[in-house]
Amino acid sequence: MRKIKEVLRLHFDSNLGQRPISRCLNISRTTVGDYLDRAKLAGVRWPLPDELSDTQLEQLLFPSIPSAPTAVRYTPNWTEVHTELKRKGVTLTLLWEEYKAQYPDGYQYSRFCDLYRAWAGKLKLSMRQTHKAGEKLFIDYAGHTLPIVDPRTGEIKEAQVFVAVLGASSYTFAEATWTQGLPDWIGSHNRAFAFFGGSVEILVPDNLKSGVTKPCRYEPDINPTYSELAEHYSVAVIPARVRKPKDKAKAEVAVQIVERWILARLRNRTFFSLAEANAAISELLRDLNQRPFKKLPGSRQEAFDALDRPALKPLPAVPYEFAEWKKVRVHIDYHVEVLGHYYSVPYQLSQKQLEVRVTSTCVECLYRGKRVASHVLSSHKGRHTTVAEHMPKAHKSLAEWTPQRLIDWAAKTGPDTANLVEAILASRIHPQQGFRSALGLMRLGREYGGNRLEAACGVALEGQATSSKSVASILKTGLDRQPPAPKTVTEDPIVHENIRGRSYYH
């Protein structure tokens, strides 16, 4: 009102026109004209009476327009509207059109939306989000654990409680597992999908390591095994943002309800196995899902049957088989180490980094997303599983040799060659360690001929030189061609003053 009074003062006291007043007060000329017209119409004169307050002046200049009587309009059942919005493809526009078709004198679209939002705002915070049927499954672990007693030792072990809840119906699944590790995490998902009888479109987990390798607000890094499970069930994984509990408000509320209506009721019971605990949880879970809602009609079970069950996608023919992923580097012997065992891959991938997928029966090796090797999982640590096709040509031909085959080959050259090969293999801790030396003799036979090799092996055996290098030296120096030294045999004992004889020791 201060500017209106200033307009009146400048007009009546200073006799200024509308343009100077607008420049002086930094308002538009039309606004100045409107104020003066309203003052003239209301009969306001300057100076204003002392008893005239700002409120009275405002009522004179801006009188309220009497409202026309409004017709009584039908108010929709907002609970039904709220429930219908959870169905796929249903929008407020569609519901308003159906409402107007039934009640032509009803509310217009903007008023209809305003009234619904005002009604929805009175619900609990967790109910303000609109979840489509069959769209999201919210997943978390309860903060409370369930103690289980080992019947043999009396040791108490705390079991974790997995909770999954559907967005539209709040239909809840819960079970106890020993850990929150990857195998239990994946197994709980399989059992949750079987419990619901179908899969959803989106999984909304918390940012635990089993599900999210690296949390990020924009591009979280999903665990490869979890990503493979999502692909198997044709679902997307959208983790809740870090420190944003509203993203998984459904799971937060479901966890709280499970803790209050299930775990609290089991606090005085003693369980001696995980199966026994899950049987008790399953019984109370049935009661929880059949409990009536407090602010909405029906129960979780009824809402699930009406909303989520028809919208769920069918499950695959078989559940997802747990598989763990690892990154490994190929050794120079073209083998990778997985759980203490060594598996071969194509030798061309030596020193490369591969991804390994490990199931309960199989080991798959992938390079840049392409499978390059597959082996049956072995429990023998320190052993090797080698496929001949993975070996270089030279290694492959070497692997075809056996100790007996080498001895049989040497026998074709002569008995001394066979005896030397047998002596070489016997001198090693493992026969395969002497293969190279034996193959070296084969090369010498091709270079010098079989007769000279046989003679050289005889010389080496006499000198107890059991190596291919010794035979090569004999052949190079021609010792195999020299006549053997005559053997001197003395039948009479040697008589010498320094030899005491046999009798000395009796």
Same domain assignment for residues 202 and 341? no
Confidence of residue 219 (pLDDT cuts 50, 70, 90): low
185 and 328 in a single domain? The answer is no
Q: What is the pLDDT of residues 137-178, one digit of tens each?
A: 999 999 899 999 999 999 999 999 999 999 989 999 999 999
CA 242 to chain centre: 16
If asked whether residues 460 and 381 sit together in one domain, one would say: no
Q: What is the C-alpha to C-alpha distance for residues 215 and 222, in angstroms, rounded to an integer?
A: 8
Would residue 501 count as lying in a domain? Answer: no
Give the pLDDT score at 67: 56
Say if 15 falls within a structural domain: yes
Domain end point (choices 374, 393, 412):
393
Contact between 226 and 186 (Cβ < 8 Å):
yes
Q: pLDDT value at position 184?
A: 93
Count Cβ atoms within 10 A of the Cβ of residue 355 and give its class: 0-12 exposed, 13-18 middle, 19 or more buried.
middle
| Residue 277 Cα distances to 85, 154, 180, 288, 369, angstroms | 38, 16, 17, 16, 41
Domain holding 461, by residue range, is 401-481
Judgement on whether residues 147 and 296 belong to the same structural domain of the protein: yes
pLDDT per residue as tens digits for the range 426-445: 876 556 556 767 878 888 88
pLDDT at 159: 95
Domain boundary among the residues 344, 377, 393 is at: 393
> Quick check: is 495 in a domain?
no
Is 18 part of any domain?
yes
pLDDT at 401: 65
d(CA 458, CA 471): 9
For residue 487, tell me if it sits in a domain.
no
For residues 45 and 60, what is the distance between their CA atoms, to the nearest angstrom?
Answer: 12
3-state DSSP percent of the chain in helix, strand and coil, to 5: 45, 15, 40
Give me 19's structure tokens.
Answer: 């343009």
Q: Is 309 a residue whose pLDDT tops 50?
A: yes
281 and 386 belong to one structural domain: no
CATH classification at residue 159: 3.30.420.10
* 87 and 161 co-located in one domain: no
Q: How confident is the model at residue 195 (pLDDT cuts 50, 70, 90)?
A: very high
Residues 303 and 436 in one domain: no
Instruction: Judge if 290 and 379 occupy the same domain.
Output: no
Nearest to 465 by CA among 453, 477, 456: 456
- For the segment 344-363, the average pLDDT, to the nearest whole number, is 92
504: in domain: no
Q: How far apart are CA 384 and CA 502, in angstroms?
A: 59
End-to-end alpha carbon distance in the chain: 144
Q: Considering only 55-59, 149-153, 370-374, which range has the smallest mean pLDDT?
A: 55-59
Query: pLDDT by residue (tens digit) across 257-304?
Result: 999 899 988 988 999 999 999 999 999 999 999 999 887 788 999 999
Residue 127, pLDDT score: 43
Q: What is the CATH number of the domain that holds 6?
A: 1.10.10
In this prediction, residues 39-55 reach a mean pLDDT of 81
| 233 and 343 inside one domain | no
25: pLDDT strictly greater than 90 = no
Confidence of residue 398 (pLDDT cuts 50, 70, 90): low
Q: Each residue of 316-328: pLDDT tens digit?
A: 999 998 888 899 9
Q: For the chain, how many structural domains are there in total?
A: 5
Classify residue 497: in a domain, yes or no.
no
Q: What is the pLDDT averaged over residues 224-240?
A: 89
Reported as a pLDDT band with limits 50, 70 and 90, residue 57 is: confident
Residue 505 — very low, low, confident or very high, per pLDDT cuts 50/70/90?
low
The tens digit of pLDDT for each residue in 60-118 reads 888 877 655 556 788 888 888 888 887 877 888 989 989 989 988 889 999 999 999 88
99 and 212 fall within a common domain:
no
Would you say residue 501 has pLDDT above 70? Answer: no
Mean pLDDT, rounded, for 241-246: 70
Residues 206 and 280 in one domain: yes
The reply to whether 219 and 277 lie within a common domain is yes
Q: Check pLDDT > 70 for residue 486.
A: no
Q: Flag whether 384 is in a domain.
A: yes
Instruction: Give me the pLDDT at residue 188, please.
Output: 95
